Amino acid sequence: MNEPDPGAALLAAVASNPAAAPANANAGAGNDVAGAAVAGAEVTGGAVAGGLTLLPAVDVSGGQAVRLVQGAAGTETGYGDPLEAALAWQRAGAQWIHLVDLDAAFGRGSNARLLAGLIGKLSAAARLPGIAGSPGIAGSPGIAAGGPGVAVELSGGIRDDASLAAALATGCARVIIGTAALENPDWVRDVISRHGERVAVGLDVRGTRLAARGWTSDGGELLDVLARLEVAGCARYVVTDVTRDGMLSGPNLDLLRQVCARTGRPVIASGGVSSLADLRAIASLRPLGVEGAIIGKALYAGAFTLQQALAAVRS
């Protein structure tokens, strides 16, 4: 007899019912750093006009949705079927999903076929009655009018022409390149020139150094790599503080400010979000260039619901 998956049950409850979140989901809101995002601002390449774009994370390992602690292999907590996780966030109002193939990132396998099918099913579900999301996201890279109501950014193990072509062929809105941007700068420069807005670079930071290959090896100095990517014309950066990922310890606002001070390109924040106050603090950096925030552990752990989060950054 198969026992119910407690992670999947919690995910469904939290995604669909705000009352399922802990009563302290708004704790700390009164201490928010600088209020919400600038009203009326447009998110470049995002699905939300005004406010901060929120991207619920669906990390996949062994065909299952999981969360890691500081990105370390072996720290997985399972949350069931990744399609059900993505559909839950879509029903709750997400217009972007951050989808990661952890096995590909660690070089220990691939979930490519599963993730391609997942992206296709998200597109189909968006056209069904009762599914949140607009009939199309006009102006979003890779998303045509009349297309899916949720956009996907896809990451994990995209390091050569074959893996890039396979990722782009899934119909995702954009891909995130990490390790290759550190180890193969000439290739990444060419990819950026050919695909523009459909390519973002992930800057996974530990101190002042970048982490590569599933965060298991050193990738050089952050500012040196950032300067090189600026010359290459990188369209967007996803900035993660590795030490805070999955820790619910708060975002590294200083790191985000540091990156924004050195680029005019949009930045997506990742790592450490634990409360609505954290999201408001990130949203306060919108004028500096932070356009979005990836949320993982806080949503899966029920710290707040996605509906509450969306309301917090739109207020």
Q: How far is CA 54 from CA 94, 170, 206, 294, in A?
A: 7, 22, 23, 6
Q: How far is CA 213 from CA 16, 36, 157, in A?
A: 35, 35, 8
- The answer to whether the beta carbons of residues 7 and 228 sit under 8 Å apart is no
32 labelled catalytic = no
Question: What single-letter amino acid sits at 217?
Answer: S
* Alpha-carbon gap, residue 292 to 290, rounded angstroms: 6
- The answer to whether the beta carbons of residues 201 and 234 sit under 8 Å apart is yes
* Alpha-carbon gap, residue 157 to 90, rounded angstroms: 25
* Alpha-carbon gap, residue 309 to 299, rounded angstroms: 9
Show the tokens assigned to 77.
């907590």
- Cα Rg of the chain, angstroms: 18
Residue showing tokens 């408001």: 280
224 labelled catalytic = no
Of 103, 204, 245, 278, catalytic? 204
Side-chain-facing half-sphere of 7: CA atoms under 13 Å: 15
* Alpha-carbon gap, residue 190 to 125, rounded angstroms: 35
Of 59, 101, 245, 278, catalytic? 59
Give the residue numbers annotated as catalytic, written as ranges.
59, 204
